[in-house]
Amino acid sequence: MLLSLWTTGAGIVRSEDLTAAAQAISPAHERYRAAGAQEVPDFRRHLVPLLGRLGCNGRACHGSFQGQGGFRLSLFGYDYHADHEALTGGEAPRADVADPAGSLMLYKPTHGDEHGGGQRFEPGSWQFHLIRRWIESGARGVEPNAPKLVNLTAAPREIVFSSAGERAALRVFAEWSDGSVEDVTPLCRYQTNDESIAEVDGDGVVTSKERGDTHIIAFYDSGVAVAPVLRPVSERIGPQYPDVPTPTKIDELIVAKLRKLGIVPSEICSDAEFLRRVSLDMTGALPTPQEIETFLADTSPGKRARKIEELLERPTYVARWTTQLCEITGASPTHFEDQAPPEEYARHWYEWIARRVRENVGYDQLVEGIVLGRSRARGASYRDYVEEESAYYRAEDPADFTARDTMPYYWAKRSLRLPEERALNFSYAFLGVRIECAQCHKHPFDQWTQEDFQGFTALFNRIGFGIPPDDRKTYQQMLDKLGDKGNQSQRVRARLRRAQQGQVVPWLEVFLAEAGARVGKKGRVEEVPDPVAPRVLGGRDIDLDADEDPRQALMDWMRRKDNPYFARVFVNRVWAEYFGAGIIDPPDDMNLANPPSNAALLDYLEEGFRDHGYHMKWHHRENARSQA
């Protein structure tokens, strides 16, 4: 039934989809249909995904923190070792190799009256045979060098319905590091991102509902596969679609999507509307009455393009987008209360970014200056540092903070005291990736596991804000000499006043601890008891030399062409400022189950942004010059 729906139902089936289907190992529901199947199921490939499909390791069942009925599994099956031990360990294991047919993991789910979760499958079903075969073959776990999932894809690549009630079946293929490909359709969990447009059942069969477009998401192991689903909202498709001008690549890609949906774009706005919109979007300010009159009186061609270039050179453009970048990175005085001069830190932060926006410095270079921020240059002493830092606050002839190569205050925020906090904030600010869930369990809508979170966090262990151990004596001597009284906030304010008068006073600083150390609360440097190999998100472990700054490895990775987050989240955030919604929306939630509404458009903007040296003005110009 599933195969028939897939080959004859609605959808775009490409030749590569057919090739994948022909070469893939047949799905588990076919291979274990008969009781006498001899193939031994794999714990990671088959058993754990099946438990997920059945809901056994979900939040409402054995995947909860408390478990159910004295039995607990890892949420969504992220901890293979713990799950195997839970199933096979103890005096009365749920997978009883000595008595496979009598195993609790077969008996309970097939007897709804004795199972709190109800009946999950029938005795004699393919699920029953798969689990029994795994138990009777020894109930083996995951081998140390077992293949890992490298790719998960759904076919057809796009489903296009023409009427309500139509159905089409997805097929999902898992590619493993040993080169094998398997049809894992019956082992996946499925969800629709808009059930009013399309529904999906547990077998991956999609049913058309209302007009519009959405996505069906398939989850398997650590992979997420996405299939766009759409149904035109009008009959104006194909030959009935009018000729719509597409003078820019953005317009071309938008109209291509609208053509599929039967949506005809509105007419081009008037000059007055254009001037109001572009002024607000690019500068955050309305045009003046005189500017409006001059623009409307101008009948020369190309005046809109010229206005865009004029706006890009205005101080208000710098102010508008500096403020936006400060919001993304967290430049607020509230982040520094009681530990630094908060308003001054926030002001320096703003001015440092503003200079780079004004000079059209590449976004990657601007971010590099924040990411690699250290309070003092390599080789400088603590006294050298406090002299330089105090000079920024002098009332007369202050030193120019914006001339610094780096801006260290991002790492001084009081919300970034622990490596875990630094990892969470960094992934959100610069990658648009939310990995909070992976602290405790596998992310429910993305690929991240606890192992990923721990490896990424290891990159932030050595970054600290406080006083490096070797300089605490000097710092304390300077404090004692000042003799300032009061609480921490009052002493910070007193130091600021002294610096404004031209004195050199001690300051806390952003520093990098030695390899193997971890900087915790109050800048304390601790030994890492069980070190974890540092790892970028979705990448491999990173080998770092003892004197190498781990943040440089982060920047190198973010600049890579195959990095799926850094450039992408920036262009998406800017797009959302222009159009009111991101191509991925929310604009800074780049999880795999939140795909773009127009993938080709986002790909184009991301690639163009990188190819043009991460120049922010290129992206603003490209958006503003489109008819969209």
Same domain (yes/no): 75, 131: yes
Where is the domain boundary, 313, 338, 364?
313
CA atoms within 13 A on the CB side of 356: 29
User: DSSP secondary-structure letter at 464?
Assistant: E
Task: Write out the residue range of the structural domain in which residue 109 sits.
Answer: 43-136
pLDDT for the residue 108? 87
CA 220/CA 168 separation, integer angstroms = 20
Same domain (yes/no): 11, 131: no
Residue at 462 is within a domain? no
More confident residue, 254 or 443: 254
Same domain (yes/no): 192, 283: no
The stretch 239-249 carries a mean pLDDT of 95
Q: Which of 347-351, 465-469, 483-487 has the lowest mean pLDDT?
A: 483-487
Residue at 266 is within a domain? no
In three-state secondary structure terms, 387 is helix
Residue at 514 is within a domain? no
The stretch 1-16 carries a mean pLDDT of 48
Where is the domain boundary, 236, 260, 288?
236
pLDDT for the residue 441? 66
CA 263/CA 293 separation, integer angstroms = 34
- Residue 530: pLDDT band with limits 50, 70, 90: confident
- With CA atoms as reference, report the closest residue to 420 among 450, 464, 451, 461: 461
Residue at 165 is within a domain? yes
Same domain (yes/no): 154, 204: yes
CA distances from 304 to 155, 280, 626, 627 (A): 44, 15, 11, 11
Residue at 323 is within a domain? no
Average per-residue pLDDT for the chain: 91
The stretch 130-138 carries a mean pLDDT of 96
Same domain (yes/no): 402, 485: yes
Same domain (yes/no): 178, 294: no
pLDDT for the residue 1? 39
pLDDT for the residue 538? 85
The residues facing 225 across adjacent strands are 218
Residue at 5 is within a domain? yes
Q: Number of structural domains, the chain?
A: 5
> Does the pLDDT of residue 15 top 60, yes or no?
no
Same domain (yes/no): 489, 403: yes
**Is residue 237 exposed (0-12), middle (13-18) or buried (19+ Cβ within 10 Å)?**
middle
pLDDT for the residue 19? 59
| Percent of the chain residues past pLDDT 70, beyond the cut | 95
Same domain (yes/no): 333, 480: yes
> Does the pLDDT of residue 4 top 50, yes or no?
no
Beta carbons within 10 angstroms of residue 370's beta carbon:
23
Same domain (yes/no): 95, 132: yes
